[in-house]
Chain A
Amino acid sequence: MLAPFALCGCSGVQSALDPAGDESAIVANLFWVMVIGGAFIWIGVIGTLLFAISRRERPVSDAGAGRLILWGGAVFPSVTLLFLLAFALWLMPGLRPFATPADASMTVEVTGKQFWWQVAYRLPDGSRVAAANEVRLPVGKRVEFALESDDVIHSFWIPALGGKMDMIPGRRNRLSLLATKAGTFRAPCAEYCGTSHALMAFSAVAMEPSDFDAWLAAQAEPAAGVSGEGREAFLRNGCGACHRVDGTEANATIGPDLSHVGSRKTIGAGILPNTEAAIASFIANPGAIKPDAKMPAFGALPAAEIDAMAAWLKGLE
């Protein structure tokens, strides 16, 4: 009866058992070897227990018991653990591949902040494309991640693509991932980082390389809708003191880069669907959606003005 619930974890956008990357495939493989091996050992132990109970009237000799303890209690576990350890260690170089910068098609810098993700794509030609709360990567190309934190320890984890790596203030940790299947995956913050830790996530999108190149080229330019209505309200209300929108004078990096916020999968770092209504509710009262978020509430503004800003932001694709 519990099986359907247990199997829910085996697929979906945030499952390490539904691999779409090189590294997560190794993790899933290791998991299944351990589970199936563990099941056999469990059956063996319980079988021995039942056998022992069934023949309690006819105890084995001291010598027989000694042999059983030596072989079943010392030799068998030692040899089994030796093989399991060797198997796991043998997988390790593939789990944390030592990509040199030359191997990696590009470096993605991700900085953890309470409670969102600053993202920057560093291209081989030296240019930099800023984004936030979403990481895109080309299928079949190894991508190097440079992981940092601005405040407390966060942890970067895209379960469908690979293992987690902590983001530690003052350190620059490396991780390299290779997506093997296109798709959109959810990536939660995997280290408790404050009140809204559970509300801190991002979407990871693995795209075909040609689609990815086109997408990245579009990200490097201002969004088409940047001169639309709502822009004045955004700038007049001081949003540019924290946010950057490419193509306007808003150029701050305290909050997420909003240059192409309309094309992202979610709003508020993985919390709300990307709709005008969700953007408007976030502007009006971020603390209600994301407790302890640094952004102040703008609920005192006229609703029409908030709606105009939300519509403009949604148009930044």
Chain B
Amino acid sequence: MIRLLPREVESLWTLFTAPIVWALHFLICYVGAAIYCAKPGLLGLDFAAVRLGIGIVTALALALILLSTLLAWRQWGFGTYDPPHDDATAHSRRRFQGFATLLLSGLSFVAVIFVALPAVFLTECLR
């Protein structure tokens, strides 16, 4: 898995992977719950199915963020080099981007858990 992407990828896009997963997870959870609570009969599901759906989407999102974390960790050099990575070289730039991606992945991981947490406790919409 570590070799899935070439080690020397020169693109900013990998930096945004985890926040984009977080954003999509947020949208799916909130829009899904809002549609269910406004139109409960739409798909003939009960609230347990909504909670299960949020659980599946959350597991998927966390797996994607973990993948992004592993790739970022590799790009950073597995912690061999210390920050701040501020030399004007391609090497330093890659380490910097890897480290920034790693931090964003950590933030996104925690945020996805916080977004999904209400589904653990809430059993019904209030109408």
Residues of A in contact with B (beta carbons under 8 Å apart): 62, 66, 74, 78, 81-82, 85-86, 89-90, 92-93, 96, 98, 174
Stretch from B28-36, B68-76, B112-120 contacting the other chain: B112-120
B113 and A93 within 8 A (CB):
no
Contact of A89 among B82, B106, B121, B124 (CB under 8 A): B121
Nearest B-chain residue to A176, judged by Cβ: B126
The interface size bin for chain B is 10 to 19
Specify which chain B residues have a CB less than 8 angstroms from the CB of A82 in the assembled complex.
110, 113-114, 117
Q: Is the CB of A92 within 8 A of B122?
A: yes
Contacts of A93 in B (CB 8 A): 121-124
Q: Cβ of B127 < 8 Å from any Cβ of A?
A: yes
In the complex, chain A residues whose CB is within 8 Å of the CB of B114: 81-82, 85
Q: Mark B residues whose CB is within 8 Å of A.
A: 82-83, 106, 110, 113-114, 117-118, 120-124, 126-127
Chain A residues, CB < 8 A from B120:
86, 89
Per CB-CB distance, the 4 closest pairs between chain A and chain B, nearest first, are A89-B121, A78-B110, A98-B124, A96-B126
Q: Which one of A81, A85, A89, A174 lies within 8 Å of B122 (CB-CB)?
A: A89
Q: Which residue of A lies closest to B124 (CB)?
A: A98
A99 closest partner in B (C-beta): B126
B121 near A92 with CB under 8 A, answer yes
Indicate whether A98 sits within 8 Å of B118 (C-beta atoms), given known contacts A62-B82, A74-B106, A78-B110: no
Q: In the assembly, what is the distance between CA of A199 and CA of B23, in Å? A: 44
Q: How far, in whole Å, are A54 and B22 apart by their CA atoms in the complex?
A: 41
Complexed CA–CA distance, A85 and B113 (Å)? 11
For the complex formed, measure the closest distance between the CB of A168 and the CB atoms of chain B, giving whole angstroms: 14
Candidates A81, A85, A174; contact of B126 at CB < 8 Å: A174
Contacts of B118 in A (CB 8 A): 89, 92
Nearest A residue to B114 via CB reads A85
Chain B residue with minimal CB distance to A90? B121
**Chain A residues whose C-beta falls within 8 Å of the C-beta of B117 in the assembled complex:** 82, 85-86, 89
